[in-house]
Structure 1
C-alpha cells in the first residue's frame, strides 16, 4: 500500500450552530441552514482534561534552520515529514528547483521551530481520535438517520461498490482507525452535511481541492490521514509543529495532548489557511463547539491510558503455512496511509510472477480470534473475542482477495486460512499481504517500544518507510522488493 503524499488544501470554515463563515466554494445559501438537532441524552462531564506532562518547550530564540545530512533512499517528501516541514519550504530554504536530485551526504537546511505557538486549549482526548473503546456502541447510520441530512441521501461508488454516506464514513473510520464521531463532527463543521437536507455543491466537502478527489471518500480520507499524521507524529515521530496553508509554522503548545495535536494539524492544513482563521477553528468556539453540540463534551468519552504501561504483544506466528517460505518486501510503514503509525509489514508468497496476479497461496491467522471485518480487501481479527476490534489487540490482514476470503463472525484459530494475497483494497502494485497490529484502536508501530514479533522474527526499522529488518537470533533479513535469500522467511 503506497502512501499518499499530497499536500492538503484549505479546509472550509462553517461552525455548527454559531456564526458561520460562509465558504465561497460551496455557496451554502441562507435557506440551507442546519436543521436543529434533536438532542439525545448526552454524556455529562464536569471535570477538566487530565493534565499532560509538558512536551519539549518552544524556544522562540531558536536558530531558524537546522542541518540534515541526506541518507540513502531519502526523498524531500520524507525529510519534510520527518521534521514537520514541507517540500516547498525545503526547496525555498535550499534554493532548489523541482527537478533537483538529492545526493547521499548532501547538507540540507531545514526550517526549525517557529516562534508562533498554538493555543493550549484541549479539543479532544486521545481516545476520541482513534476508533477505540469509547466508540464501541456508536452506529454511524443510526446517528445520521436522526437528522435526515444530506449525508444520509448521498451515494458514491468506492472501489466498485456503491455506498451511502454513512457507509463511506464507516469505511474511512475503519481503514484509518479514526473515530467516526470525529469525522462526522468535521463534516458538519465544514459543510453541514449531517444536518442540512441539501447542499448547493457536494464537491470538495472538506476543502481538499486536488483534482479527482472531489468525492466524500477522498475528502474524509484526506482528513483522517492528517488527523493521524498530527497524532502519531506528535506521539512517536518527534513532530513539534504544524505548517499552515499560508506558510506559517505553528508550534504545538507543550501541554496539549497528542489527540489535540492531531486535530490542530488537520484543521491547519490547506493552501490558504491563515493563523487567525486557524485559531478560530482550534478554539472553544470552533470544532470543539460543534462536537459538543452533536455528542456532548468529548472528554466525557475519555479512556485513559489507551496503552497500559508494560503492555506486551501476545504470541504471534508468521501469516503463512509452516512448510512455506515467503518474502519480506515491506518494512515498517503506515498501518493505513502514511499518516498513521508505521504499524505494517508486507510479505509476498514464493513464485516468479510480478505485479497483481492471481495467487492460490493462503494467508493464515497469526493468532486466535474472531473476524470482525471482511470487506474491501481487509480482514480484521479481534483477538480478545468480544467481537469489537477497538478493544484490546486486533490484527489487520490487508489485500485479501474476495475469493475464499473468511467471513465476518468466523472464529479463527492460529494457522487457519484467512484468504489469498492480492492487490484488492486501497492501492497496491503487486500481490502481497499487509499485516498490522492495533491495540484499543491505536496503531502499534512495528519498530516501536512493542516491536512486531512474528514467530520470533522481530521487526527493526531503518528510519525510512518500507525499509527495515526482521531479526531472529543471529539471522537478519532485510526488506526488499525481490525474492532473494536476503529477504526469505521460512515458515515456523
Structure 2
C-alpha cells in the first residue's frame, strides 16, 4: 500500500524536528544512548528525491588509515567520488553507506556544522583502501536470532557448569542485583538474539567462560565496546551485551534490507561483503569490525576465529539449521488495533526499532487518551488499557513487556508474536494466560526500556525475527509482509525513524507527538 506522505517532508526544513520527535518517544534498552539525527534540509529550486540513506550511529574511535604493508594484493583503492545529498540523508547514514568514517567526510568537505546538510549539497567521499570480504559462513540465521530451539537451551545450567569467571559474575542493573546468567537471559529476550552467541562472544573476546583470572579491563569491558560518540560509558556486562546485541541486529537486518553492504575496520579499511553471505554471518562480521583492525578481523571471521570458539562450546552451529527463519510469502494474521473500539488514541510514533536502533523498524507507537491536565509528569500509569490485537497466549509478562504468542504454544521464539512494551505492572496480564481479541493486556506507562512519555510500543516478530512494518528495500529473498492493523497500513519516511503515516482507504493519519491536532487521532 502506497501512502501519500509529502506533508511530512515539512519536518526536513526544521533542524530541531528530530529532537522534538524524541520528546515522548521510546529508546529501547534502558542504558542505550539516544542518537539525535538532524536530517537534510531543502535548498531552493532543488527537487525532492526519494533516495536516502538509513541513519546509524557514528563510527567509534579516531580513524587511523591502515598501513599499506598490512593490505593484501587484492586491495582496491576506493576513488574519491561525489555524492549529492538526498531528502532524509544524515551524515551518519552517508558514512554507513560508503563505509567511511563520518569524521573523514567532515574533514574532506570542511563541514563547519556537520549536523546541517542541504538537499542538493555535493559531498566528496574520502579515499580509503577497500578490500573484498570473507565468504566464510560463521553462523546460520537461527543461531543469531533467538529463534526455534532457543528456548530449550538452559542458560543458567550452562553458566553454572563453566569453570571461569562467568559463574560468579554479577552486577547491579536498574537497581537490581543480577547474576551473569540472568543478564544474558534478559538481553537475549529483549533483543531477540540467541544466548549461545552472546556466551561465545564473552569467551572469544574476554575468556569469561574458561578463565578464573581475568583482568579488570576484561571484567569491565569484556567485549571491548567503546564509549559512545556522546561519551556514554558502556562499562559492565549488561551494557557490553546490549551494545553487542544491537550491533549484531544492525548487521543482520541491514544486510536483509540492503543498508549494510560494506564494513569498515578500525584501521579505516573498507570491506566489501560477498553477495553469497547470509544475514547471521554478516551480523557477526559487522560486530567484530567495530573493534578490530583488518588483519585481526580477517582472523576473527575465519574458521579459526569465533567459529572455532562456538564449535568448542556448542558444536556445529549448522547442525540444526532452520532455513529460512522467515519463509517466503509469509502472510500476517488478521490484527485489530491494540486498544478498545470507541476510544480515540494518538498515533505518536511511525516505524522504528523493535528493540534498539539496530533491529528492524518493526514497531509503531500509540498514546492513550488520558486527560493530561491532572498528570504531574509525562510519565504516568494510564487510565486506559492496551488490548489484544489477536488471539493467543501470553508467553512473557515482566519488566514492562508483554509478549502475545499467536500460535498458542507459549514459546515466543516460534511463529508470530506481538511485543507490547511500556505496560505497567499494575493490572498487567499474567504469563501463561490465554487472550482473546480485545482482552486487556495492561495499562500504558513508561515501564520497560526507556521512555520519556507514556505510550504503547507494539512490534511484530516471526520465529524470533523482527518483522519490519514495511520493507521496500528488502532483498527479494527477505521480503516481509507489511504491518496491517484493523485495515490500517503503515509507511515510514526514508531514513527517519519514528516519522510516517497510516492509511485505511480514504482515511489517513500522520505520526505526531501532539494531541491537539486531528492528523494523529485514531479510533475504530
TM over 0.5: yes
Structure 1 residues 150-208: Cα deviation after superposition (integer angstroms, max 9, x where no partner) = 22211222223221101101111111111111000001101111222343311011111
Structure 1 residues 418-451: Cα deviation after superposition (integer angstroms, max 9, x where no partner) = 1111111121111111100000111000012411
Change (3 A) 1:107 1:423: farther
Is residue 196 of structure 1 aligned with residue 228 of structure 2?
A: no
Normalising to structure 2: TM-score of the pair? 0.80
Is residue 174 of structure 1 aligned with residue 189 of structure 2?
A: yes
- Matching residue of 2:491: 460
- Matching residue of 1:336: 355
Distance in 1 (CA, whole Å) between partners of 2:458 and 2:282 is: 27
Q: Displacement of 1:76 after TM fit?
A: 2.2
Is residue 76 of structure 1 aligned with residue 91 of structure 2?
A: yes
How do 1:49-448 and structure 2 match up within 5 A?
Answer: 63-71=79-87, 74-81=89-96, 84-97=99-112, 101-110=116-125, 115-201=130-216, 202-210=219-227, 211-270=232-291, 273-351=292-370, 353=372, 355-448=378-471
Q: Displacement of 1:143 after TM fit?
A: 1.0
Q: Secondary structure at the match of 1:300?
A: coil
Q: Displacement of 1:65 after TM fit?
A: 2.8
Structure 1 residues 35-54: Cα deviation after superposition (integer angstroms, max 9, x where no partner) = xxxxxxxxxxxxxxxxxxxx
Distance in 2 (CA, whole Å) between partners of 1:78 and 1:121 is: 27
Change (3 A) 1:143 1:418: same
- Matching residue of 1:26: none
Distance in 2 (CA, whole Å) between partners of 1:143 and 1:411 is: 31
Is residue 485 of structure 1 aligned with residue 518 of structure 2?
A: yes
Q: Displacement of 1:404 after TM fit?
A: 1.6
Q: Displacement of 1:311 after TM fit?
A: 0.5
Q: Displacement of 1:68 after TM fit?
A: 3.5
Q: Displacement of 1:399 after TM fit?
A: 1.1
Change (3 A) 1:369 1:113: farther
Q: Secondary structure at the match of 2:241?
A: helix
Q: Displacement of 1:89 after TM fit?
A: 3.6
Q: Displacement of 1:149 after TM fit?
A: 2.8
Q: Displacement of 1:298 after TM fit?
A: 0.9
Is the contact between residue 68 and residue 107 of structure 1 (CA under 8 Å) also seen in structure 2?
yes
Distance in 2 (CA, whole Å) between partners of 1:68 and 1:99 is: 15
Q: Secondary structure at the match of 2:246?
A: helix
Is the contact between residue 113 and residue 240 of structure 1 (CA under 8 Å) also seen in structure 2?
no
- Matching residue of 2:506: 474
Q: Secondary structure at the match of 1:136?
A: helix
Normalising to structure 1: TM-score of the pair? 0.85
Change (3 A) 1:174 1:86: farther
- Matching residue of 1:42: none
Is the contact between residue 189 and residue 287 of structure 1 (CA under 8 Å) also seen in structure 2?
yes
Unaligned runs of 5+ in 1: 11-57
- Matching residue of 2:474: none
Q: Secondary structure at the match of 1:288?
A: helix
Change (3 A) 1:86 1:411: farther
Change (3 A) 1:290 1:9: farther
Distance in 2 (CA, whole Å) between partners of 1:419 and 1:174 is: 20
Distance in 2 (CA, whole Å) between partners of 1:111 and 1:169 is: 40
Q: Secondary structure at the match of 1:301?
A: coil
Q: Displacement of 1:352 after TM fit?
A: 5.2
- Matching residue of 2:3: none
Q: Displacement of 1:9 after TM fit?
A: 5.4
Q: Displacement of 1:75 after TM fit?
A: 3.3
Distance in 1 (CA, whole Å) between partners of 2:287 and 2:446 is: 29
Give the number of equivalent residue pairs.
441
Distance in 2 (CA, whole Å) between partners of 1:344 and 1:93 is: 37
Distance in 2 (CA, whole Å) between partners of 1:104 and 1:290 is: 47
Unaligned runs of 5+ in 2: 1-25, 36-56, 62-73, 472-479
Q: Displacement of 1:112 after TM fit?
A: 9.2
- Matching residue of 1:53: none
Structure 1 residues 385-425: Cα deviation after superposition (integer angstroms, max 9, x where no partner) = 11111111011011111222221111111111111111111
Change (3 A) 1:327 1:122: same
Q: Secondary structure at the match of 1:227?
A: helix
Q: Displacement of 1:94 after TM fit?
A: 2.3
Q: Secondary structure at the match of 1:482?
A: coil
Distance in 2 (CA, whole Å) between partners of 1:152 and 1:452 is: 42
CA RMSD of superposed structures (Å): 2.3
Q: Secondary structure at the match of 1:264?
A: helix
